[in-house]
Amino acid sequence: MNNFIFQNGTKVYFGKGCVKEYLACLTRKADTILLAYGGGSIKHNGVYDEITGILKEAGKTIVEFSGIMSNPTYAKVQEGAKLARDNHVDMILAVGGGSTMDCCKAVSLAAQYGGDIWDDFWARPGVIDFAPLPLGVVVTVAGTGSECNGGAVITHEEKKIKTGRDYPQLNPSFALMDPTYTYSVPVKQMISGGFDILSHIMETYFSEPNEDNVSDDIMEALMKSVIRNLRASIKNPEDYVARSNLMWDSTMAENRVIKMGKKCDFECHNMEHQLGAYTNCNHGCGLAVLHPVYYRHIYKAGLPKFVRFAQNVWGIAQEGKTDEELALAGIDALADFIKELGLPTTLKELGAEKSQLNEIADSCSISQGSYKTMTHEEILAIFQECYE
Ligand code: NZQ
Ligand code: ZN
């Protein structure tokens, strides 16, 4: 294993009924709470009523911050920070998916900072030497794993940049995770969130070291769990066992545990984020289009790991295949799974224009953790192969 330091500042309360059981206690020190949520799904599935009921009974002043969009923008962060400051908010409670949680992490920082947080913390890494506003989250959809890390992916619309930073100080102090809250997620979103989980694991697994390490073993188990439980959740969206496994898979993929000792790639995420900045495409859908094509570009540089992936995740036997043939069979199995899920397979389906590809490719960050360091020309070639 490579050297590492591990810490995770989020306390998780997991399982059916956890919000009812713990929310009042977890918010006891706050008088005024910024209740943040997205486009309104929580008003249709009973989550809003349950949460506001608990907070009102405890005598809290609730300030609502609603309408957080998928791929949250820097303008939305500033709106939330102003609300928090104007109303002397003591705590932020983010109820939703990655977009709401990420936006609120940035709000928790912006509300306490005099300068421009984009310039000082997102455009380049900064040092947080002050306390952000306390943040707790209630997770309503599995996918990003944002509940257990300090990562926040924000889109600057004018600059056409979608980028994430992971500051440990932005880890939510608590995460309430009731799998039954995810029953109402539309099937398409459940699938794209499920693919995002798989992507986080693959982006970590397909990176150095290749020598025996516990992180890779955990990841093989996690990938099989995502595949199995996503299939089960599609069959029956109210399968508690499957939804709870999927929800915890999502956290495990991004709570830093599997990254220990790993270099981590995340080039597909870099590419997807810029596609998102230009097209506002769905995160998991963008990843689904890119992964198989990207892997066909890099597998030769990480052959032993791609062979392991074919054998241990997809159960493909060597049976007279060369290592290269076996590695490619694993990537084909991934591509078949994407088709089985009904995810998009071309950039055209995501709404990208062919004429934009050059500019988008040039704007992508280059990962230093890839088996094969990309050039902007190769990223463009991948985009072109994915186009239609
Ligand atoms: O906005 P509402 O009305 O709540 O509807 C949302 C939204 O339309 C809906 N939804 C969520 N829970 C629901 C529900 N609908 C019905 N019932 C429920 N229980 O789902 C839709 C998608 O929500 P969103 O939060 O946008 O999705 P997701 O969790 O996939 O988050 C995506 C964002 O997170 C970033 C992505 O780039 C993207 O901006 N990421 C954040 C990461 C992190 N912080 O660690 C890592 C990821 O790689 C990712 O980049
Ligand atoms: Zn992701």
Residues 72-86: tens digit of each pLDDT: 999 999 999 999 999
Cα separation, 206 vs 42, whole angstroms? 36
The last residue of a domain, from among 164, 182, 200: 182
Cα(62) to ligand 2 centroid in Å equals 31
Ligand 1 atom at minimal distance to the Cα of residue 284: 30
Predicted confidence (pLDDT) at residue 195 exceeds the cutoff of 90: yes
One domain for residues 103 and 138: yes
Q: What is the mean pLDDT of the chain?
A: 97
At 39, the pLDDT band (50, 70, 90 cuts) reads: very high
Give the model's pLDDT for residue 346.
97
One domain for residues 288 and 172: no
The answer to whether the beta carbons of residues 209 and 186 sit under 8 Å apart is no
Cα(97) to ligand 1 centroid in Å equals 4
> Does the residue 5 lie in any domain?
no
Ligand 1 atom at minimal distance to the Cα of residue 102: 44
Task: Print the domain residue range for 349.
Answer: 187-386
List the CATH number of the domain containing 348: 1.20.1090.10
Predicted confidence (pLDDT) at residue 94 exceeds the cutoff of 90: yes
List of residues 6+ apart from 75 with CB closer than 8 A: 157
The answer to whether the beta carbons of residues 247 and 184 sit under 8 Å apart is no
In this prediction, residues 12-28 reach a mean pLDDT of: 98
Cα separation, 45 vs 37, whole angstroms? 13
pLDDT one-digit tens code per residue, 277-286: 999 999 999 9
Ligand 1 and 96: CB distance under 6 A:
yes
The last residue of a domain, from among 140, 165, 182: 182
One domain for residues 207 and 172: no
With a pLDDT cut of 70, the percent of the chain lying above it is 100
The last residue of a domain, from among 163, 182, 201: 182
In this prediction, residues 300-327 reach a mean pLDDT of: 98
Ligand 1 and 40: CB distance under 6 A:
yes
With a pLDDT cut of 90, the percent of the chain lying above it is 98
One domain for residues 159 and 191: no
In this prediction, residues 22-47 reach a mean pLDDT of: 98
Ligand 1 and 150: CB distance under 6 A:
no
At 48, the pLDDT band (50, 70, 90 cuts) reads: very high
List the CATH number of the domain containing 132: 3.40.50.1970
Predicted confidence (pLDDT) at residue 378 exceeds the cutoff of 90: yes
One-character DSSP codes across 42-77 = HHHSSHHHHHHHHHHHTT-EEEEE--PPSS-BHHHH
> Does the residue 267 lie in any domain?
yes
One domain for residues 356 and 369: yes
H helix or E strand, kind and range, residue 162: strand 161-166
What distances in angstroms separate CA 340 from CA 220, 231, 290, one per listed residue?
A: 20, 10, 16
Q: Tell me which residue has tokens 């995002």.
A: 196
One domain for residues 163 and 194: no
One domain for residues 147 and 214: no
One domain for residues 33 and 170: yes
As a residue count, the chain comes to: 388
In this prediction, residues 247-268 reach a mean pLDDT of: 97
CB-neighbour burial class of residue 27 (10 A; exposed 0-12, middle 13-18, buried 19+): buried
Ligand 1 atom at minimal distance to the Cα of residue 40: 3
**What's the domain count of the chain?**
2
> Does the residue 3 lie in any domain?
no
> Does the residue 247 lie in any domain?
yes
The answer to whether the beta carbons of residues 76 and 68 sit under 8 Å apart is yes
In this prediction, residues 349-377 reach a mean pLDDT of: 97
The answer to whether the beta carbons of residues 170 and 132 sit under 8 Å apart is yes
The answer to whether the beta carbons of residues 279 and 351 sit under 8 Å apart is yes
At 1, the pLDDT band (50, 70, 90 cuts) reads: confident
Ligand 1 atom at minimal distance to the Cα of residue 141: 12
Predicted confidence (pLDDT) at residue 2 exceeds the cutoff of 90: no
> Does the residue 273 lie in any domain?
yes
One domain for residues 253 and 288: yes
Give the model's pLDDT for residue 56.
98
In this prediction, residues 60-79 reach a mean pLDDT of: 98
One domain for residues 346 and 219: yes
One domain for residues 163 and 193: no
> Does the residue 2 lie in any domain?
no
In this prediction, residues 139-145 reach a mean pLDDT of: 98
Cα(262) to ligand 1 centroid in Å equals 26
Cα(273) to ligand 1 centroid in Å equals 14
> Does the residue 51 lie in any domain?
yes
Predicted confidence (pLDDT) at residue 191 exceeds the cutoff of 90: yes
Ligand 1 pocket: which of 162, 192, 258, 283 to mutate (most atoms within 8 A of CB): 283
In this prediction, residues 232-261 reach a mean pLDDT of: 97
At 117, the pLDDT band (50, 70, 90 cuts) reads: very high
> Does the residue 17 lie in any domain?
yes
One domain for residues 297 and 239: yes
At 22, the pLDDT band (50, 70, 90 cuts) reads: very high
